[in-house]
Amino acid sequence: MTTAATKGGASSPLGLNFASSWPLWLGFAVLAAPTVMTLSDQTWSRESGAHGPIILAAGGWLLWRLLPEFKRDARPGSLAITIGLLVVGLVVYALGRAYDFITLEAAGVYSVGLAMIHDKLGLKLMLRNWFPFLYLAFTIPPPTYLMDQLTAPLKLFVSYVATSGLQATGLPIAREGVTIMIAQYQLLVEDACSGMNSLVGLTAISLMYIYLMHGSSWRYSALLICFVIPIAIIANIIRIVTLVLITYFLGDQAAQGFLLFAAGIVLFATALLLVFAVDKLLAFARPSVSQPA
């Protein structure tokens, strides 16, 4: 009986379906390869997008952890939903490739991938395990101009707070917009310096922490994510103050070396420590709020 069930595909439908549809997955790999190369060249090589490969690997690991459940509960998805996702994904992908718009291109690959997974797992199983699929969406880079518009006021605020704090210590520092002058040096608080464009990566890493610690509680996820922007602001203030002090006491060359090799680590380490601290405070204040939904 066991042998017959296995041959018929009832006990492991997912494994047999994946094995029988390997040409489709090969086609998906061919479709995604140029996008991954473009992301590596245009987005992942910059600090604001350096989280991309980490999210891709972590998302794959999360799906791998759920593989036994997928094999046990997989059901064929709705053909209409699969075709809809596939058509939308291919159209968006084509537009992204035609107009060299990596956001659309990556979104198209993501939609095609969802369509293929939905065909194998079904909507019910995907909704029950929604987090890994949502998490992988963070590999889609937001438009640069949009992030610039959204973070411009935050950069001004971070520059103002950092400068005001250092002025109180008696250092010869002044500010004009997002340009900080200290002694004979000038520092421009732009994307690569302020780190405010790392909000997407910080949000993704925070969500991963919440998921691993508290499960897929969307209420608690939404609550803790509300603290991401304040945390990013505090982390960037600390970062800019550190860079200004290194520039003033050790020179511009030392600060540039620090920025190149360690600024991103300082930003994320500070931000993650603050996320952990907020999580502990929330759990202490209201223990029930951090329980999985």
Nearest to 241 by CA among 183, 177, 176, 189: 189
- Given 97, 175, 193, 219, the catalytic residue: 193
Supply the Cα-derived Rg of the chain in whole angstroms. Answer: 23
Question: Out of 46, 75, 239, 286, which one is annotated catalytic?
Answer: 239
Choose among 79, 100, 88, 78: nearest CA to 34.
Answer: 100
Q: How far apart are CA 204 and CA 96, in angstroms?
A: 24
Cα–Cα dist 84/210, whole Å: 32
C-beta of residue 202 within 8 angstroms of C-beta of residue 50? no
Question: What distance, in Å, lies between the first and last C-alpha atoms of the chain?
Answer: 39
Q: Is 226 a catalytic residue?
A: no
128 is catalytic: no
User: Which residues sit opposite 187 in a β-bridge?
Assistant: 180
Residue 24 tokens, joined: 């489709």
Place of tokens 């993650």: 272
Residues belonging to the active site: 193, 239
